[in-house]
Structure 1
Amino acid sequence: MKKFLLMCCFLMGIAAVSHAQGGGGMRKSPEDRAKDLKAQLSLTDDQTAKVTAIYKEQAAKMDSVRTAANGDRSAMRTAMMPMMKATNDKIKAVLTTDQAAAYEKAQKERMEKMRQGGGQGGGGGGSQN
């Protein structure tokens, strides 16, 4: 019985660490990302459908890059940065001027948070709080 409890605790610990580090299966689907953006920017149904299609296209491309990079983070980052910029540009083209401004502001805040180690898989101990 003790071995069973020990094994359960061990597995729960591994699951917790994996989740805290942004474990593989934790990415949001294109539909969920579009729903989040709809709520954040008050998108119309038409805009949401277009954004969902953009996110689906990006997800397919990124999956192929992940496969081709074979775990090489530097290669993935180098290949994904232009794709992410293109995706952001496509999304901004779907938005109204006010929505695009709010989207740009949210993107900048997210990037700043990631630079400070607050993003998924961020630097960890580098914070100076």
Structure 2
Amino acid sequence: MKKILLMCCFLIGISAASHAQGGRMRRSPEEMAKGLQTQLKLSDDQTTKITAIYKDQATKMDSVRTAANGDRDAMRQAMMPMRKATNEKVKALLTPEQVTAFDKLQQEIADRMRQGGGGGGSQN
């Protein structure tokens, strides 16, 4: 019985520590593109091109994180235009129907972010 109680306390502690640190894991460019492939019914060619766009964005954002040296405001200021440019590049590869669905997804993510619920990572 003591072992079970100890294990429960251990798991609760790990969970609390994870939540305190933000509890967010960044999704890889491949995961983000796969998510869009499922949600927007992308072709394999579209998915490949979007993965490349997201990889480029991830590299640039890592550079910004390093340069910002923990300054969240500086990171946010630098990343907003990068995200917008990435979204425009992605939209250029989509059909009109997919653009509509993509815009809807982006709006849902923005709404969750405003409510403090995180973005789900579909657009990093």
TM-score higher than 0.5: yes
AA of the residue aligned to 1:54: I
Find the aligned partners of 2:13 and 2:75 in 1 and give their Cα distance. 25
TM-score by length of 2: 0.82
Helix, strand or coil at the partner of 2:57: helix
Helix, strand or coil at the partner of 1:95: coil
**Structure 1 residue aligned with 2:70:** 71
Deviation for aligned residue 1:104: 0.3
**Structure 1 residue aligned with 2:27:** 28
Q: How does 1:50-65 map to 2 (within 5 A)?
A: 50-65=49-64
Query: What is the aligned length?
Result: 114
Instruction: Please list every run of at least 4 consecutive aligned residues from structure 1 whose deviation after the TM superposition is greater than 6 angstroms.
Output: none
| CA RMSD of superposed structures (Å) | 2.1
Which runs of no fewer than 5 residues in structure 2 stay unpaired? 120-124
> What's the % identity of the aligned pairs?
63
Q: Is 1:83–2:78 an aligned residue pair?
A: no
TM-score by length of 1: 0.79
**Structure 1 residue aligned with 2:36:** 37
> Bigger CA drift: 110-119 or 63-72?
110-119
Deviation for aligned residue 1:9: 4.7
Deviation for aligned residue 1:18: 4.5
Which runs of no fewer than 5 residues in structure 1 stay unpaired? 121-129
AA of the residue aligned to 2:106: Q
Find the aligned partners of 1:17 and 1:114 in 2 and give their Cα distance. 21
